[in-house]
Structure 1
Amino acid sequence: MRGRAGRSVRVRQPGPGRRAPHARRRTGNYQPGEYSDDTQMAVCIAEVAATGADLREPAALDRIAANFVRWAEDGATDIGVQTQQVMRAVRGHSPDGLAETMRAAAEELHRRTGRSAGNGSLMRTGPVALAYLDDPDALAQAARAVSDLTHHDPLAGDACVIWCEGIRRAVLDGTFDGVRDGVGLLLQAQRDKWAAWLDEAEAQVPHTFPNNGFVVTALQAAWSAIMRTPVPVEDLPNGVFRCDHFRDALYAAVGAGNDTDTVAAIAGAMLGARWGVSGIPLTWQRIVHGWGGHRSADLIRMASLSTGGGSADRVGWPGCDRMESPIRQPLMTAHPDDEGVVLGNLLTDAVDSGVDAVVSLCRVGKKQFEQVPAENQVQVWLVDQPGANANTAYALDQAARMVAAMRDEGHKVLLHCAAGKSRTPAVGARYAMVRMGRTGVDALGEMRELLDEHGYLVNNELRRVVERFA
């Protein structure tokens, strides 16, 4: 069920018997994988963060505010009551000074109603953290400034500060410790309350916080889902991975009920920061799309640019039309067990190879495979350097299973990495295990025999992972 994300609720100190009241819910008409207003508003922020702008500056805040207005007028699939009233108040205002006018409208709404601690600024706050990975103080200022555009109550800003610091540390350290540390970035008078609310969340299951239109209970429900969901013990032969925590905790967040997509969006930002894109199921990534015309690759591009101050790397990624191959000869070889799978590299031409689906194991440009429908292009975050991957086994297994899923749909699939020497045969071997029941040793030997003349060179980490699946 769709919730009224960011809706107005009366601000009270949460305690026994004192929760924010329920608001009406409505069902959204969404396609599978289409993101709702939570991510739509996050995109509004990410588009500005991706330029390298300092989100504390008036010009950057004006651009975020203008994106909010544009979204509200031409793309919002849902909009919270509170946010909607603020958007109406600034309708027709020029872009210059729009942020200040929007903040004033949010303050006036709070003055009139006393209700501005909805969950609407928390649900969208994730991209702010990516722009300040090396500066927690600046992050706290930016998180509050972006929150204040629509949510005047300091509780909303507090929640955004705490959550953004949690995301920052999750990206850098791979832990959830930053949420507790985020409390230390608040005013002294607020710290004990928030610490107690986090304690309460860790002690209770997510659906204990059903009135989650209120920012405090929304954060509690998300935090409960994350902290009370166990991280699995990895068991490759039985298909169990540590990063399954991402999926399991999101299911728990959805189970909180009421404004369930918003609780999941809040939790998902933190979980995504902790486990990385390589820990997100490829079947989910493949179908992600929504307002702004963005798909998974576009969201990854904005996130990467945000962490890089708006600049691409030395080879132009992300944002380049095509990535250059490290070798000069294209690879276009049929998988020995399935002629419908073409093993290739960055020089492999989709038209020449006759494929209509691509699974990329390396970075690709925006137009690298422009002849292939976007929904049939899947990019896997898998680095060909031992120790460089957060979820090596999961990413490799997911890639092989995505090839299998596409074949089941009737597609001819190009499986490729940059050179076709290491990641491609490793995933090709795992595909033979999944599809044909081969052992890891036999499947790798088959790949070596097939690709030896092309410089087969599977790194030791990938080789060991493939063998461990057996």
Structure 2
Amino acid sequence: MVTLPHTPDDIRAPARDRAMGALSGAAAATALVGAGPDLLTRFLAPEPSPVARAAHLTRTALEGTGEPSADPLERAWVEVLRTLVRTGAAPGRADALEHAPSEDPLGVSWRALARTPVPDHRPHLGSFACTHLVDTVWAAYTTAGDLAAVYAGALAGARWGLSAIPLQALRVLSETVDPHVLVTDALTRADGARPDRWPRASVLVGEPRRLPPFAVPHPLDPQVLLGNIDHLRAHPDSVDAVVSLCRTHPSDAPHLAPVDWIRVWLHDSPEVNTNLHFTLDEAAAAVAALRAEGKRVLLHCWAGASRTPAVAARYAAAGLGAPVLPALTLLIRTVGGHLDNPSLARAVARLSGHDLPDPARSLFPEGVPPRRADLPDPRTTG
């Protein structure tokens, strides 16, 4: 197994985001370049093929045991991916890959990762550093085609994490494979099998984490419900599609078509969301895309009190044209939410070009309203 630099039980650690990003990034590359489902099917299949070899090397890197083969390029590529997952940064040199033949997919993927410029992170201008992932995949694809793109997706996914993969690509992916399968595969290989814990087991099902089902209409779009995970479980027929902002399990919504369930890697804790602006923007865009398809949407997190109003406010600003600061105030009041994690409100405001150093004072100058009665202690998050 990869020795991840964090407390083993801290699922929020960025290294776990990166471990999931490696396998999911390789698979999502097929969607990003429009390769069609056949390439993804071969990537996932046990039968030997060049693209199945890419899956094998990615899994080998996550497991961290032994060498993949006697091939020096494969060994070098696996070590680069391991380093990316552990540290979030590529090694300074990878000579074997740097000097690989011009069309070799492993060398192409490394050179694409290393040479593709990282975009300036200017969220108020719609520019996010983590879109380097997509740029890397396209650079590899342009140079050497589908297989190079898959290898590049693994490296860039390990660099930037699952949270940097565009949600539309994951939605396309879900037509062939449940993204939860890839998450489970990656974390099992990186951390070992833990059948009683997420992602193999459902979460937030016992006290004090089980909450009464809760949902209210978005005040600016009543066809969007704002709620918690227990509403998803208790009222499966209340909506046509779901955007989940907390960890979920297939058993939470077995009735949903995979393309109608968009799962977002977002935590309700400061300093752990490495691609926070991009993730919030993508989640809001996912709500807008589902609404454009005429679907009634549930936007939820664990409690429906922090992540949910943040994304709902970004949807209001970017999708409905509402001013962002009044939208934040309105949405937090609507769900009876809170500002226990002010980094979410700051990021939503920044996406619209506003600095918000003290969200509580700016949004609620007369005092933050009382939190919903069923909400847990502020120290307990989902």
Q: Answer yes or no: same fold by TM over 0.5.
A: yes
The answer as to 2:105 corresponding to 1:221 is no
Deviation at 1:251, TM superposition (A): 1.0
The answer as to 2:89 corresponding to 1:175 is yes
Name the CA shift for 1:443/1:353 in 2 (closer, same or farther; >3 Å). Answer: farther
Deviation at 1:341, TM superposition (A): 0.5
Deviation at 1:33, TM superposition (A): 7.2
In structure 2, give the amino acid aligned to 1:267: A
Deviates more, 1:120-129 or 1:164-173: 120-129
Deviation at 1:449, TM superposition (A): 2.1
Q: Aligned residue for 1:164? A: 78
Cα deviations across residues 291-337 of structure 1 (Å, max 9, x unaligned)? Answer: xx62222111211111111225xx62112256427242211100011
Cα deviations across residues 62-88 of structure 1 (Å, max 9, x unaligned)? Answer: xxxxx33xxx6xxxxxx46xxxxxxxx
Q: Which runs of 5+ in 1 are unaligned?
A: 1-27, 45-66, 73-78, 81-118, 133-137, 145-153, 181-194, 202-207
Contact kept, 8 Å, 1:421 with 1:458, in 2: the verdict is no
Q: Aligned residue for 1:316? A: 197
Q: Aligned residue for 1:306? A: 189
Secondary structure at the residue paired with 2:217?
Answer: strand
Task: Please list, as runs of the form range in 1=range in 2, the aligned pairs for 1:128-147 lying within 5 A after superposition.
Answer: 128-132=60-64, 138=65, 141-144=66-69
In 2, Cα distance between the equivalents of 1:375 and 1:397?
A: 19
The answer as to 2:350 corresponding to 1:468 is yes
Deviation at 1:200, TM superposition (A): 4.5
In structure 2, give the amino acid aligned to 1:319: R
Cα deviations across residues 413-451 of structure 1 (Å, max 9, x unaligned)? Answer: 110001111101110111101112223311111112212
Q: Aligned residue for 2:313? A: 429
Q: Aligned residue for 1:23? A: none
The answer as to 2:223 corresponding to 1:340 is yes
Contact kept, 8 Å, 1:33 with 1:288, in 2: the verdict is no
Q: Aligned residue for 1:274? A: 159
Cα deviations across residues 29-52 of structure 1 (Å, max 9, x unaligned)? Answer: xx9675544x556545xxxxxxxx
Q: Aligned residue for 1:295? A: 178
In 2, Cα distance between the equivalents of 1:457 and 1:143?
A: 47
Secondary structure at the residue paired with 2:222?
Answer: strand
Contact kept, 8 Å, 1:246 with 1:272, in 2: the verdict is yes
Q: Aligned residue for 1:186? A: none
Deviation at 1:248, TM superposition (A): 0.9
In 1, Cα distance between the equivalents of 2:99 and 2:318?
A: 43
Name the CA shift for 1:252/1:341 in 2 (closer, same or farther; >3 Å). Answer: same
In structure 1, give the amino acid aligned to 2:212: Q
Deviation at 1:285, TM superposition (A): 0.5
In structure 2, give the amino acid aligned to 1:378: I
Q: Aligned residue for 1:91? A: none
Name the CA shift for 1:169/1:35 in 2 (closer, same or farther; >3 Å). Answer: farther
Cα deviations across residues 234-265 of structure 1 (Å, max 9, x unaligned)? Answer: 111111101010011111111014xx110001
Secondary structure at the residue paired with 1:359?
Answer: strand
Secondary structure at the residue paired with 1:347?
Answer: helix
Name the CA shift for 1:253/1:360 in 2 (closer, same or farther; >3 Å). Answer: same
Name the CA shift for 1:368/1:41 in 2 (closer, same or farther; >3 Å). Answer: same
Q: Aligned residue for 2:360? A: none
In 1, Cα distance between the equivalents of 2:157 and 2:319?
A: 29
Structure label with greater radius of gyration: 1
Contact kept, 8 Å, 2:236 with 2:255, in 1: the verdict is no
Q: Aligned residue for 2:248? A: 364
Secondary structure at the residue paired with 1:344?
Answer: strand
Secondary structure at the residue paired with 1:310?
Answer: coil
Name the CA shift for 1:414/1:288 in 2 (closer, same or farther; >3 Å). Answer: same
Task: Please list, as runs of the form range in 1=range in 2, the aligned pairs for 1:122-271 lying within 5 A after superposition.
Answer: 122=54, 124-132=56-64, 138=65, 141-144=66-69, 154=70, 157-177=71-91, 180=94, 195=95, 197-200=96-99, 209=102, 212=103, 217-257=104-144, 260-271=145-156
Return the match for 1:446 from 330, 345, 360. 330
Name the CA shift for 1:169/1:446 in 2 (closer, same or farther; >3 Å). Answer: same
In structure 1, give the amino acid aligned to 2:74: C
Q: Which runs of 5+ in 2 are unaligned?
A: 1-29, 353-382
Deviation at 1:179, TM superposition (A): 6.2
Contact kept, 8 Å, 1:123 with 1:263, in 2: the verdict is no
**Cα RMSD, aligned residues only:** 2.6
In structure 2, give the amino acid aligned to 1:249: T
Contact kept, 8 Å, 1:333 with 1:342, in 2: the verdict is yes
Contact kept, 8 Å, 2:314 with 2:324, in 1: the verdict is yes
The answer as to 2:313 corresponding to 1:381 is no
Name the CA shift for 1:386/1:164 in 2 (closer, same or farther; >3 Å). Answer: same
Provide the identity percentage: 33
In 1, Cα distance between the equivalents of 2:177 and 2:183?
A: 10
Deviation at 1:199, TM superposition (A): 4.3
In structure 2, give the amino acid aligned to 1:230: P
Secondary structure at the residue paired with 2:274?
Answer: coil
Matched residue pairs, number? 318
Contact kept, 8 Å, 1:163 with 1:179, in 2: the verdict is no
Secondary structure at the residue paired with 1:427?
Answer: helix
Task: Please list, as runs of the form range in 1=range in 2, the aligned pairs for 1:67-106 lying within 5 A after superposition.
Answer: 67-68=46-47, 79=49
Secondary structure at the residue paired with 2:225?
Answer: strand
In structure 2, give the amino acid aligned to 1:398: E
Secondary structure at the residue paired with 1:299?
Answer: helix
Deviation at 1:370, TM superposition (A): 1.3
Name the CA shift for 1:349/1:362 in 2 (closer, same or farther; >3 Å). Answer: closer
TM-score when normalising by structure 2: 0.76
In 2, Cα distance between the equivalents of 1:340 and 1:236?
A: 28
Deviation at 1:178, TM superposition (A): 7.3
Deviates more, 1:345-354 or 1:232-241: 345-354
In structure 2, give the amino acid aligned to 1:233: D
Contact kept, 8 Å, 1:425 with 1:458, in 2: the verdict is no
Q: Which one scores higher on RCO, CA 8 angstroms, separation ≥ 6? A: 2
Secondary structure at the residue paired with 1:384?
Answer: coil
Q: Aligned residue for 1:330? A: 213
TM-score when normalising by structure 1: 0.63
Name the CA shift for 1:33/1:320 in 2 (closer, same or farther; >3 Å). Answer: farther
In 2, Cα distance between the equivalents of 1:432 and 1:159?
A: 48
Q: Aligned residue for 1:15? A: none
